[in-house]
Amino acid sequence: MSVVVGVLALQGGFSTHIALLKKVGVTAKEVRKPKDLEGCTALIIPGGESTAILKQVRFIEMHDALNLFAAQKPVMGTCAGLILMSRHIVNDTMVPFGWLDVDIKRNAFGRQADSFHTLLEVKLGGSKLQKIPALFIRAPTIERVGQDVEILAQYQNQPVFVRQGKLLGLTFHPELTQDASLHQFFIDIVKNRGLS
């Protein structure tokens, strides 16, 4: 099955996701307008500034196309991407897309200077835990998870990586490390669902 992963390229760190996808041999495509979603098997919403991404989505009238895509195909959101995918943001008036049944607190670790790097134990299929490097940049926290949401990694007893079926949400940036395990995990989800 051929996989084409779209990366929402309106603002933020889309190019590093594309580079990592290419490294693992997957076709990656910049998504800048609703039509670009055609032919994509899955979508990544990158980190950046969630308010800026949302503003662009509204400006180019892409909201409906994204809702339709997420109802049918796998989506992974990192940091600002997760914020946009969430059901509710507890410390902001922003209304996110609402696909992933989690509540989010933006900038929960403080300012840019409070960004940090750590090793996380993640559950990538089965019960085995794998250690991966993770970079947190003005990261949000996940304040509530719905009953259909599985927690795949925690940091200081708080969820940082969650899955709800074909939707993955991460509060950190795997694409800024050399470790492609999470992207590979996402691609495995895409392939197993046979959604191309």
Q: List the one residue from 16, 50, 86, 164 that touches ligand GLN (CB under 6 A).
A: 50
Residue 107 interacts with ligand GLN (CB under 6 A)? yes
Among 21, 79, 100, 122, contact with ligand GLN (rule: CB under 6 A): 79
Q: C-beta of 57: minimal distance to ligand GLN in Å? A: 13
Binds ligand GLN by CB under 6 A, chosen from 6, 47, 169, 174: 47
- Decide: is 159 part of the binding site for ligand GLN (CB under 6 A): no
Under rule CB under 6 A, residue 106 binds ligand GLN: yes
137 binds ligand GLN (CB under 6 A): yes
Residue 45 C-beta: closest distance to ligand GLN, Å: 10
Q: Which are the catalytic amino acids?
A: 79, 173, 175
SS3 sequence of the chain? CCCEEEEECCCCCHHHHHHHHHHCCCEEEEECCHHHHCCCCEEEECCCCHHHHHHHHHHCCCHHHHHHHHHHCCEEEECHHHHHHEEEECCCCCCCCCCEEEEEECCCCCCHHHCEEEEEEEECCCCCEEEEEEEECCCCEEEEECCCCEEEEEECCEEEEEEECCEEEECCEHHHCCCCHHHHHHHHHHHHCCCC
**In the complex, minimum distance from the CB of residue 162 to ligand GLN, in angstroms, rounded to a whole number:** 16
Q: Provide the binding-site residues for ligand GLN, judged by CB under 6 A.
A: 47-50, 79-80, 83, 106-107, 137-138
